[in-house]
Structure 1
Amino acid sequence: MDRTLLLVDDEDNVIASLVRLLRQDGYRVLTANSGKAALEVLATHSVGVILTDQRMPEMTGVTLLEKARDAYPETVRMILSGYADLTSIKAAINQGAIYKYLTKPWDDETLRADVYSAFLQFELSKKRTQLAYEIDEANKQLALINHELVMKIDEKDRRIDRIMHYDGITHLPNRSLFVERLQRALAYAERSGKSVAIMMLDLDLFKKINESLGHPVGDKLLEVVAERLQGSIRKEDAVARAGGDEFCFMMSDFSAIYEVSDKAQAFLNLLSMPFLIEGNEVFISFSIGISIYPVDGMDTTILLKNAETAMYHAKSEGRNNFQFYAEQMNASALQRLMFESNLRRALERNEFILHYQPQIYLESGQIFGVEALLRWQHPQRGLIPPSEFIPLLEETGLIIPVGEWIFRTVAAQIKEWQNTNSSILRVAVNLSAVQFRQAGLGEMIVSIMNEVGLDCASGCLEVELTESLVMKDVEGTISVLQMLHDVGMTISIDDFGTGYSSLSYLKRFPIDTLKIDQSFVRNLTIDQNDVAIVTAIIALGHGLKLRVIAEGVETVEQMECLRAMNCDEMQGYLFSKPVPADEVTRLLQQGGEYLLKKRCM
């Protein structure tokens, strides 16, 4: 390190002696014979230590060092003098102008040590200054990072709130947010003595639109229906998507029932006009059920239930009409009881069947597993979709014996595929909340597999649970999942991204697979928000050493997007609908990879 020393004295012999003494220590020595000359040297050289005489013409050493302190504060300043005004020197020392006062004549070794000490002080000061600068720069960078992090967290919170309270297709409030707003409206109505009308609006025969034109057209139809509804209401009213093809509407601040009737008829008229969806002219109608607070109920649950009852009555009256709730609608409740009675006998009559939807590797196109899906083959109504009867199975508790039947049927089918050397590696079975909380779940599954002769630890059976289910009673969930994992089952989180997972809990779950909900896959090629969400889910899954599977893949473009994102697996109509077991066997015999390529041509 270059150490530059400035010697200031008006006596040449003193300067010469000091130069000879101090150059042997490797210093770069500069000299000046007056204070003015010293300041000129300081202006053109970087000096670490100044050693000056006190008594000089024109300017004393103290004055020189005070000027040097102000202009070059890091330079270490010392006086070497045989004569001094001690009062001035003490004042200069106290003011920080002088680091040390040395006397003439000097002891060579002591002087050398003092100069060396001064340079150490100078270098320490430089390091402190540099460190302070680096700390300041680091703090600035940290502040910038913190600001960006806060912005990202705020954005994430907004997105989470959006996912929790708004529907992803229509962007309307969801049922949960609607109920919150309805509760507030009822509280106000109770205080003010006013009424509130609740409408349930359901698209008639919406399933046929999905089946004939496809789910993308169905989703677009829901979106434009929502736009029409939203554009036709007052700011004090509220509309929401309740789920599926059902919407909720709340009307407050009205003075007569005919205003509610007029609004319902206005909705029917509004929605009777054709919709142009991707070149298709679509005609739809609505069935609307209406309940009134406080006549038809005092709380949100009863009012929504009665509005829904009235809506089903409107459907039974030929659709495309509205009905106010009335007590005589108990006939509808009777029909529900008959439906429930038929459902109770369906198991003993062997009316339940299983269909299987293949799951394939995105990289190779090979089938590696299937998802087992329950269907009800009703003797009069034909094949009833699960959305019509599974909620009732759960509500009545029938899902427990039906669930056991599902596991027995799946285990027997796995064994049959193994015996015929079919390459199915894993069958996934959905678990409802009621099943998941039942006592002895793991023992029941293990017993069934042992009876059939399957090895639990082979990974041939996977259980699927929804994200919202696992986040209820987290500690209890971890306990049950661990029990299932310990007996050899693999575990998949279904509909991932639609709930509100805490990552701190998610990493504690003994899970194997994240299943991306089809709502994010559907618009993957056109919606950058969905691209960002799917990318994040895949990165999260891989970061946790989990497999990631996308459901609802219907187009080659969606598949290619997922492949580019390094998604592991997929299932969807692009490859196959849910089909009977013998159809899966045929697909395996024909070769899954060949079939996928054929569909992509």
Structure 2
Amino acid sequence: MTSRESVEDPRLQLLVDGVVRLAAGDLDARIQPSKHRDDIDAVITGVNLLAEELGHIHADLEQRVAARTAMLRRTQVELEQMAKTDALTGLANRTLLTERIHGAILSSTDGGKAPAVLLLDLDSFKAINDILGHSAGDAVLVEVAKRLRSAVREQDTVARLGGDEFAILITEASEEEVLRIAHRASEYLQDSMCIGIETVWAMASIGVCIGKRGDRAEALMRDADIAMYQAKARGRNNVQLFQPEMLDAVQERSRITAELRTAVTGGELALVYQPVVELASGRVIGVEALIRWHHPVRGTIMPGSFIGIAEETGLIFELGRWVLHEGLAQMRRWSQTDPDLTDFCLHINLSAAELLRTDLLEDIRDTLANYGLDPRRLILEITETVLMSRETVQEQVLSGLRELGVGLQIDDFGTGYSSISYLRSLPADTVKVDQSLIKDMESDPRQQKFVSAILQLIFAAGLNATVEGIETAEQAAQLEAMGCLYGQGYFYGYPGPATEIPDQLRRPARRL
């Protein structure tokens, strides 16, 4: 074959076309060899073999890509599942619960029943964690999850929102069915749990919100949460159904909170002082500082209406600091205007939260020094429940206060634990017996014996007693006869402004 014949051979054009098709991705392209079996046919055969190999490689690659894609999809599903599942209990988490609430709401707009939400908070979980440790706490949470699953229907969703807080979404159920499930969940949590060698209980306060068409998921969760806190306020371990007036109460508390934030800087707070007397002589030996809020619209608000809110919101730190500074500043003013009145003490209530103030000791020490007051003239009244359940930080603060020379008094004795075993070890000088214990003392001989026994117990622990709420001369005489040294109540004086205190201190002792 001549050179010119080779160039003009039609197989060459077929070969070029085949290579172009292969290059374009057509791996099924093939070139038919001729009968010549020459060099051109050899090249054609080689190109066909290469195309065959490329086809196998491409098929294998596609198979691998398909397998990898399937694996990635499975992983994505697993990650999405993990992102919507509580790792400890396997329950739905807040994200998944919210999605399902939204879905249930959409279904209700198409003619179905509106969903209901239950919110649960374990009543004693912190104590379990603190005493037995976090591993035991985790085991309790797993068991609670198991019991809640068994209390609901298959189509309902049980979720763990975090910590010891759980939620249940109930769909397509009547109010009666919803409450039945709620009470069943409460009942299932009544039984004790065996955690290792320990037996514990993990009962719950449950709030129930039954939705209406058009409700938002956020509103359902909010109202269930409000109902749950009502359950806690009503003694814990019970079920409360949300009522609209509960929201009104929460909104009122929110308004009080917002207004309380400006009360200190706005000059709306004031202190009044109630005498503490020596029963035998009737002599005033001290005054208790009591806070009042003079609201520009609501009038005078008593502390029972806002101290609890202040403790919940952290405003108690600011209020406590203000009471301390104002009370000690008034002591300084009295010493300047009436220098002969120096033998009485100032009593100030200290909340449990304030014992956790990192600057409490420093603040008290510096304020006393700033006003030139003897620390022994300041007595801090602390509830017995705080003193009995104190933790390390509180222990250190109480020890620091005693080293400073400040007096400590157990407040409201008889309304809390009143543990005899703790009484001897309490870091206090005196005990203030709650007024509820002497309410029927005049007419009930058994109550007289009971109060006498309590006083003897206090004396045996090496402590002095102050009884509050004395309203009659007979009560005062009975308490003095029982050996009680000090008293406080309307019989000796109502809480009044600072200007009245010097006259009360100079007034002749009120003898019985």
TM-score (norm 2): 0.54
1:43-100 deviation digits (Å, cap 9, x = unpaired): xxxxxxxxxxxxxxxxxxxxxxxxxxxxxxxxxxxxxxxxxxxxxxxxxxxxxxxxxx
2:431 aligned with 1:520? no
Given residue 564 of structure 1, which amino acid in structure 2 is its aligned partner?
A
Question: What is the match of residue 8 of structure 1?
Answer: none
- Counterparts of 1:451 and 1:306, CA distance in 2: 45
Deviation at 1:383, TM superposition (A): 0.6
Deviation at 1:440, TM superposition (A): 2.6
Deviation at 1:537, TM superposition (A): 2.5
Greater shift, 519-528 or 474-483, is seen at 474-483
Give SS of 1:500's match: coil
Deviation at 1:472, TM superposition (A): 1.5
Question: What is the match of residue 418 of structure 1?
Answer: 335
Question: What is the match of residue 159 of structure 1?
Answer: none
Question: Among residues 460, 478, 493, which one is paired with 2:377 in the alignment?
Answer: 460
Deviation at 1:439, TM superposition (A): 1.3
Give SS of 1:535's match: helix
Question: What is the match of residue 259 of structure 2?
Answer: 342
1:561-583 deviation digits (Å, cap 9, x = unpaired): 11111111100111112111112
* Contact 2:388/2:426 (<8 A) preserved: no
* Contact 1:411/1:452 (<8 A) preserved: yes
1:127-181 deviation digits (Å, cap 9, x = unpaired): xxxxxxxxxxxxxxxxxxxxxxxxxxxxxxxxxxxxxxxxxxxxxxxxx99xxxx
Question: Among residues 429, 447, 457, which one is paired with 2:348 in the alignment?
Answer: 429
Question: Among residues 325, 347, 354, which one is paired with 1:408 in the alignment?
Answer: 325
Question: Among residues 496, 499, 502, which one is paired with 1:582 in the alignment?
Answer: 499
- Counterparts of 2:293 and 2:223, CA distance in 1: 34
Root mean square deviation of aligned Cα: 4.0
Q: Rate the CA distance shift 1:302–1:482 in 2: closer, same or farther, 3 A.
A: same
2:487 aligned with 1:570? yes
- Counterparts of 1:436 and 1:467, CA distance in 2: 13
Deviation at 1:416, TM superposition (A): 2.2
Question: What is the match of residue 443 of structure 1?
Answer: 362
Question: Among residues 451, 456, 462, which one is paired with 1:545 in the alignment?
Answer: 462
Question: What is the match of residue 508 of structure 1?
Answer: 425
Given residue 518 of structure 1, which amino acid in structure 2 is its aligned partner?
Q
Count of aligned pairs between the two proteins: 314
2:289 aligned with 1:365? no
Greater shift, 413-422 or 360-369, is seen at 413-422
Q: How does 1:216-231 map to 2 (within 5 A)?
A: none
Q: Rate the CA distance shift 1:504–1:332 in 2: closer, same or farther, 3 A.
A: closer
Q: Rate the CA distance shift 1:570–1:332 in 2: closer, same or farther, 3 A.
A: closer
Question: Among residues 355, 358, 380, which one is paired with 2:272 in the alignment?
Answer: 355
Identity of aligned residues (%): 35
- Counterparts of 1:477 and 1:533, CA distance in 2: 32
Question: What is the match of residue 141 of structure 1?
Answer: none
Question: What is the match of residue 11 of structure 1?
Answer: none
Q: Rate the CA distance shift 1:388–1:564 in 2: closer, same or farther, 3 A.
A: same
* Contact 2:468/2:487 (<8 A) preserved: yes
Given residue 413 of structure 2, which amino acid in structure 1 is its aligned partner?
F
Give SS of 2:341's match: coil
- Counterparts of 1:447 and 1:497, CA distance in 2: 34
Greater shift, 530-539 or 500-509, is seen at 500-509
Give SS of 1:349's match: coil
* Contact 2:207/2:224 (<8 A) preserved: no
Given residue 561 of structure 1, which amino acid in structure 2 is its aligned partner?
Q
Q: Rate the CA distance shift 1:477–1:306 in 2: closer, same or farther, 3 A.
A: closer
Deviation at 1:466, TM superposition (A): 0.5
Deviation at 1:504, TM superposition (A): 4.1
- Counterparts of 1:436 and 1:370, CA distance in 2: 22
- Counterparts of 2:454 and 2:401, CA distance in 1: 24
* Contact 2:378/2:407 (<8 A) preserved: yes
Given residue 393 of structure 1, which amino acid in structure 2 is its aligned partner?
A
Give SS of 1:340's match: helix
Q: Rate the CA distance shift 1:474–1:543 in 2: closer, same or farther, 3 A.
A: farther
Question: What is the match of residue 243 of structure 2?
Answer: 325
2:303 aligned with 1:303? no
Q: Rate the CA distance shift 1:294–1:530 in 2: closer, same or farther, 3 A.
A: farther
- Counterparts of 1:372 and 1:303, CA distance in 2: 36
Given residue 532 of structure 1, which amino acid in structure 2 is its aligned partner?
K
* Contact 2:469/2:490 (<8 A) preserved: yes
* Contact 2:207/2:225 (<8 A) preserved: no
- Counterparts of 1:536 and 1:475, CA distance in 2: 32
- Counterparts of 2:248 and 2:313, CA distance in 1: 20
Give SS of 1:510's match: coil
1:213-272 deviation digits (Å, cap 9, x = unpaired): xxxxxxxxxxxxxxxxxxxxxxxxxxxxxxxxxxxxxxxxxx9769x9xxxxxxxxxxxx
TM-score (norm 1): 0.46
- Counterparts of 2:393 and 2:446, CA distance in 1: 33
- Counterparts of 1:358 and 1:329, CA distance in 2: 39
Question: What is the match of residue 483 of structure 1?
Answer: 400
Given residue 407 of structure 1, which amino acid in structure 2 is its aligned partner?
L
Question: What is the match of residue 556 of structure 1?
Answer: 473
Q: Gapped runs of 5+ residues in structure 2?
A: 1-122, 125-145, 154-173, 180-205, 212-219, 234-240
* Contact 1:478/1:508 (<8 A) preserved: no
- Counterparts of 2:403 and 2:393, CA distance in 1: 15
- Counterparts of 1:324 and 1:368, CA distance in 2: 50
1:468-516 deviation digits (Å, cap 9, x = unpaired): 1111235544332211010010110011122224444432333110111
- Counterparts of 2:230 and 2:420, CA distance in 1: 39
1:385-435 deviation digits (Å, cap 9, x = unpaired): 101111111111111122111111111111222230225510110000111
1:344-380 deviation digits (Å, cap 9, x = unpaired): 0000011110011101011001100011111101011
1:280-316 deviation digits (Å, cap 9, x = unpaired): xxxxxxxxxx97477778999753435799xxxxxxx
Question: What is the match of residue 232 of structure 1?
Answer: none
Question: What is the match of residue 53 of structure 2?
Answer: none
Given residue 363 of structure 2, which amino acid in structure 1 is its aligned partner?
M
Q: How does 1:279-290 map to 2 (within 5 A)?
A: none
Question: Among residues 415, 434, 459, which one is paired with 1:498 in the alignment?
Answer: 415
Deviation at 1:331, TM superposition (A): 5.8
- Counterparts of 1:294 and 1:536, CA distance in 2: 51
* Contact 1:362/1:568 (<8 A) preserved: yes
- Counterparts of 2:301 and 2:421, CA distance in 1: 40
- Counterparts of 1:437 and 1:482, CA distance in 2: 13
Given residue 321 of structure 2, which amino acid in structure 1 is its aligned partner?
E
- Counterparts of 1:398 and 1:257, CA distance in 2: 41
Q: Rate the CA distance shift 1:463–1:377 in 2: closer, same or farther, 3 A.
A: same
Deviation at 1:584, TM superposition (A): 1.8
- Counterparts of 2:295 and 2:222, CA distance in 1: 38
Q: Rate the CA distance shift 1:299–1:338 in 2: closer, same or farther, 3 A.
A: closer
- Counterparts of 1:561 and 1:361, CA distance in 2: 14
2:316 aligned with 1:392? no
Give SS of 2:491's match: coil
Given residue 422 of structure 1, which amino acid in structure 2 is its aligned partner?
L
* Contact 1:423/1:588 (<8 A) preserved: no
* Contact 2:368/2:374 (<8 A) preserved: yes
Given residue 429 of structure 1, which amino acid in structure 2 is its aligned partner?
I
* Contact 1:377/1:384 (<8 A) preserved: yes
- Counterparts of 2:302 and 2:388, CA distance in 1: 27
Question: Among residues 288, 294, 309, which one is paired with 1:377 in the alignment?
Answer: 294
- Counterparts of 1:452 and 1:545, CA distance in 2: 32
Greater shift, 295-304 or 330-339, is seen at 295-304
Q: How does 1:92-241 map to 2 (within 5 A)?
A: none
